[in-house]
Chain A
Amino acid sequence: MDKLLTLWQGSGLYNLELGQAVMVMVGLLLLYLAIYKKFEPLLLVPIGFGGILANIPEAGLALSALDQAIDVGRPVLLEQIASALGGSLDSQANIESWRTSLQQMMANGASAEQLATAKAVAKGAGYGDGLLYMFYTVAITSGIAPLIIFMGVGAMTDFGPLLANPRTLFLGAAAQFGIFATLFGAVLLSSMGWMDFSLNQAAAIGIIGGADGPTSIYVSSMLAPELLGAIAVAAYAYMALVPLIQPPIMRLLTSKKEREITMTQLRPVSKLEKIVFPLLLLILVALFLPDASPLLGMFCFGNLMRECGVVERLSDTAQNSLINIVTIMLGLAVGSKLMADSFLAVETLGIMALGIVAFGIGTTAGVLMAKLMNLVSKMPINPLIGAAGVSAVPMAARVANKVGLESNPHNFLLMHAMGPNVAGVIGSAVAAGVMIKYLG
């Protein structure tokens, strides 16, 4: 009978907390959105599944060895850990309060050495780092996964439309207003006392407005790792929602006449220009914003591999198999941040709300900038392509094309919209560099 009881007490059902159950439902919801609604399935399937794995009770897949030992260890082990951390446990209190006081000890005041000893104690007792925790350490803490994905994106991007009409870069710049306006919004929310975001956290939330998954993950892993789960989910979910969020804003801000503007055909761009471009961008980054050099450096590298034409195999790997492998790891690692105690908070709702505001403001700024440029420049510019200034390649450009076709079925804006679209990628990476420089 005793053994039966032990088995029951070790079961998931016995240990399931309400938060974990809710998070499993959230994971299932993400899977549903990915599989049936086709919301960025490449990312949301691994994220959703990782989220479910991270919330399996007692398994501790997303925890480090030490956290796991504290979570499920026996009293003797807990005392050992406490002494390794340089504290002691109240012998009167029950084991649950021991666990919480140990976590507090770790959170405030334990030195790196003490943590290392405590970790060794946990490992010695047979606890190991959870699977997802290891993915997280390898892929995100090191910063490597977002960067490799950025390299793949570089290898997939054709800068031809941008080179043919460099002024569209301004549209990509304007759309980054979404990032900074959202940052300010987050700061405003916390100064009014509704939420509690630090400036670092506000910056990481703002980057959602860049509509660029890897950039958001990179920045939040550096500035606010505790919000990474919510930020990544918001970024990818809203990227998938671009075709729903953008068109109403675009129609509201433009007249039918403006939407019908046809643009002059882009000139052909020579191969040499395409090869020189990534190098030029790299030099510019090196000179003015070294903090953006991890992101833009990898981006330029990927693009150079594509355009130089002598390393087909590398370019092919970067944009296919490598990016796929890394996407799996990145998705699972992000999923590990969907643990109940950190994800189920008011702040997550705030992030979701701010994220959609960021997209809206970015779109608005892009369209308004395009209207302004149309007024001052000789070449006609259709304001719709401004909306493509938020990155979300190539979704945003397709949306601009689609809305344009609604007004004039012979007006194909896709190529013109690709210019601001890839400019948006550069713009958000630059914005990320500024944030890291300022706050990192």
Chain B
Amino acid sequence: MQDPELLQEGLGLMALGMGFVFVFLAILVFLLTLMSGIIRRFQPAPAPVAPGGGAKPAPRGKGQDDETLAVISAAVHRYRSKRRR
């Protein structure tokens, strides 16, 4: 069989391929950082409600919070008292 040759070629392709993937993505990281930097400098502060990839936005007012709490506890109370009967 052509063992050593095939093996060597496989090893070569592995090193080349992995190296290339890393270099390519490293360049991409660099360019992305650069691009974001430029864009954010010239078009600063996207509105906080922008369709961002962030997790859930939580701009809750205090008053609203209290109100919700009151409603929930009323509902729980009602449910429980109904169940006991």
User: Interface residues, chain A, CB within 8 Å of chain B?
Assistant: 158, 160-164, 166-167, 169-170, 172-173, 176-177, 179-181, 183-184, 186-188, 190-191, 193, 199, 202-203, 265-273, 276-277, 280-281, 284, 288-289, 412, 415, 418, 423, 426-427, 430-431, 434-435, 438-439
Q: Which one, B5-13, B66-74, B76-84, is touching chain A?
A: B5-13
CA gap between A166 and B16 in the complex, in Å? 23
Within 8 A of A (CB), among B1-35: 1, 3-4, 6-7, 9-11, 13-14, 16-18, 20-22, 24-29, 31-33, 35
Residue of B with least CB distance to A160: B53
B64 located at the interface, meaning its Cβ lies under 8 Å from any Cβ of chain A in the complex: no
Contact: A169 with B35, CB < 8 Å?
no
Residue of B with least CB distance to A191: B3
**Count of chain A to chain B residue pairs whose CB atoms are closer than 8 Å in the complex:** 145
Contact: A434 with B16, CB < 8 Å?
yes
B54 — which chain A residues lie within 8 A by C-beta?
164, 265-268, 415
Residue of B with least CB distance to A202: B10
Interface residues of B, dominant DSSP: helix
Contact: A187 with B6, CB < 8 Å?
yes
What range describes how many residues of B lie at the interface? Answer: 35 or more
CA gap between A203 and B6 in the complex, in Å? 12
Q: Which residue, B11, B17, B29, B46, has most C-beta atoms of chain A within 10 A?
A: B17
Contact: A430 with B55, CB < 8 Å?
no
Contact: B17 with A431, CB < 8 Å?
yes
A269 — which chain B residues lie within 8 A by C-beta?
36, 46, 50, 52-53
CA gap between A202 and B61 in the complex, in Å? 59
* A–B Cβ pairs within 8 angstroms, 15 of them: A166-B36, A169-B25, A170-B22, A173-B22, A180-B14, A184-B11, A199-B10, A269-B53, A277-B35, A284-B27, A284-B31, A415-B53, A423-B25, A427-B25, A430-B25
CA gap between A61 and B56 in the complex, in Å? 52
Known: A179-B17, A265-B55. A281 touches B28 (CB 8 A): yes
Report A431 CB to chain B, min CB distance, Å.
5
Residue of A with least CB distance to B22: A173
Known: A160-B53, A199-B6. A183 touches B27 (CB 8 A): no
Known: A166-B29, A199-B6, A277-B32. A284 touches B24 (CB 8 A): yes
Interface residues of A, dominant DSSP: helix
Report B44 CB to chain A, min CB distance, Å.
9
Residue of B with least CB distance to A186: B10
Report A382 CB to chain B, min CB distance, Å.
14
When the two chains form the complex, which single residue of B32, B43, B53 contacts A280, counting CB atoms closer than 8 Å? B32
CA gap between A163 and B33 in the complex, in Å? 8
Report A279 CB to chain B, min CB distance, Å.
10
Report A366 CB to chain B, min CB distance, Å.
13
When the two chains form the complex, which single residue of B3, B13, B32 contacts A163, counting CB atoms closer than 8 Å? B32
A288 — which chain B residues lie within 8 A by C-beta?
24, 27
When the two chains form the complex, which single residue of A181, A271, A418, A431 contacts B50, counting CB atoms closer than 8 Å? A271
Contact: A427 with B1, CB < 8 Å?
no
A265 — which chain B residues lie within 8 A by C-beta?
54-55
A191 — which chain B residues lie within 8 A by C-beta?
1, 3-4, 6-7
B26 — which chain A residues lie within 8 A by C-beta?
169-170, 173
Report B25 CB to chain A, min CB distance, Å.
4
